[in-house]
Amino acid sequence: KNFSALEVTEQYLKNIKEKNKDLGAYIKTTDDIALAKAEERFNDKAIPMAVKDNINVCDVATTCASKIFKSYIPSHNATVIERLNDHCLLLGKTNMDEFAMGSSNETSAFFPVKNPWDQRRVSGGSSGGSAAAVAADLTCFALGSDTGGSIRQPSSFCGVVGLRPTYGLVSRHGLVAVASSMDQIGTITKTVEDSAYVLSKIAGRDKKDPVTTSNKIEDYSAALKGEMQEVRIGLPKQFFTDYTHSEINKKLNKAITTLEQLGAKLVEVNLPHIPYSVSAYTLICAAEAWSNLARIDGLRHGEKTFEEDYLKNSIQSRTEGFGVEVKRRILLGAYILNSSNNNDYYLKAQKVRTLVKKDFQKAFQQCDVILGPTTPSTAFKLEEKHDPLTMYLHDSYTTPVSLAGLPAISLPCGQDSKGMPIGLQLIAPAFSEGILFNVGNNFQ
């Protein structure tokens, strides 16, 4: 039976009503908008979607899961929303780590997102709401943002497909910026095919985001049908270490065997500077976040408790409005950009970034796609990781891709002995999402 847009929408809204109270995946649902559009599209196709709450939808609050944005209502659509408007309808805005800073969704100022596979565990972050919503059938697909792993890591934790496109493939106009040299909007879906479909709608030049490419976009539906013969899969030894849980390594090895049986050639590659990625990422991310968040002074985004003294007002809003993790990064950014420290931290981090990029360039002379884990462990328990450094290290396998601006996809590849999903990460050269869809679809 072919379901109408209205029937599908009503079913998702019912699922949300039943499960969202426990999971906390949505901050806000937009039932009226969804139903009105579904009715209008009764005989047509309109795909229900969820949108991370740092992507602007006109006339719907954007909170970034922060108290400081609690009354910010944007007056424009993000470019991705404009591009999806003819194909999709909005079910609601999804929960996230505050200002996309975090790996567990516990830094949301409202409530954490619980993992649909085991509600004692985290959903991952920062796009945890989007990943949990897809995993729990609270939407057909979701948009997320990935600066250092925020699409791939929660997708891995929730057993769904998470794509971080190449830096510059998808417009960020209307995305609240954290670290502009790495921020990227991407998709969270159940299948590789869905990911390719949504990407084909949102990719491409937008003059409102000057880093977007003018190149012709690949034909992703053709890529999905690609064969595996002659595909060279690079295996870097830096991705297969004891730091990763042994059950994950085991499942990855099984996946590698499957891919080899499908016709792929395996190649050993070397990415010697990968181990320095988290350090470089943490510094660059903090420096850029400090700069981007400077404009959030409590006056421009709805919180107009204006006192005559601008500085006093701004300090008070920021003190009350930002959570601990956001403040930690603002302070770190301010510290490393202080003129007396400039060369010690920020420039060194940029040099590491160049080395990581060169590692990938060299590796891609020998292979078409690189394979590794998405995360060193599966979803951990809520409130388990108190130490920020331990949390940052959790991004060891996702941050190198962000530093290099490359596309990567996280695919489900089995479960650990506790029944939690394991993610496999495929990385491609810039603007080669097609090979990710080719290998991903053959594997899935």
CB of 356 to ligand GLN, least distance (A): 16
Tokens found for residue 416: 């650990």
Name residues contacting ligand GLN, limited to 168-187 (CB under 6 A): 178
Q: Residue 441, interface with ligand GLN (CB under 6 A)?
A: no
Cis previous bond, 340, omega within 30: no
Catalytic residues, which ones? 52, 126, 150
Q: Residue 395, interface with ligand GLN (CB under 6 A)?
A: yes
Q: Residue 375, interface with ligand GLN (CB under 6 A)?
A: no
Q: How far apart are CA 7 and CA 404, in angstroms?
A: 43
Q: Residue 323, interface with ligand GLN (CB under 6 A)?
A: no
Q: Quick one: angle between helices 277-292 and 342-363, nearest 10? A: 120
Of 106, 117, 95, the residue nearest 391 (C-alpha): 106
CB of 109 to ligand GLN, least distance (A): 15
Alpha carbon 44 to its chain centroid, in Å, reads 30
Asked if 275 and 395 count as a contact pair (C-beta separation under 8 A), the reply is: no
**Cβ nearer to ligand GLN, comparing 99 with 220:** 99
Q: Residue 102, interface with ligand GLN (CB under 6 A)?
A: yes
CB of 365 to ligand GLN, least distance (A): 28
Paired residues of 427 in beta bridges: 370, 408
Name residues contacting ligand GLN, limited to 127-146 (CB under 6 A): 146
Residue from the set 13, 34, 285, 430 that interacts with ligand GLN by CB under 6 A = 285
CB of 340 to ligand GLN, least distance (A): 26
Eight-class DSSP state of 80 = H
Q: Residue 126, interface with ligand GLN (CB under 6 A)?
A: yes
**Cβ nearer to ligand GLN, comparing 303 with 395:** 395
Asked if 304 and 401 count as a contact pair (C-beta separation under 8 A), the reply is: no
Alpha carbon 335 to its chain centroid, in Å, reads 27
Q: Residue 150, interface with ligand GLN (CB under 6 A)?
A: yes
Q: How far apart are CA 354 and CA 399, in angstroms?
A: 13
**Cβ nearer to ligand GLN, comparing 13 with 101:** 101
Residue from the set 13, 60, 101, 269 that interacts with ligand GLN by CB under 6 A = 101
CB of 406 to ligand GLN, least distance (A): 14
Q: How far apart are CA 238 and CA 248, in angstroms?
A: 15
Q: Which one of 25-33, 72-80, 148-156, 239-247 is the stretch in contact with ligand GLN (CB under 6 A)?
A: 148-156
Q: Return the CA Rg of the chain.
A: 21
The CA angle 23-26-28, to the nearest 5 degrees, is 140
Give the interface with ligand GLN as residue ranges (CB under 6 A). Answer: 100-103, 125-126, 146-150, 178, 285, 395
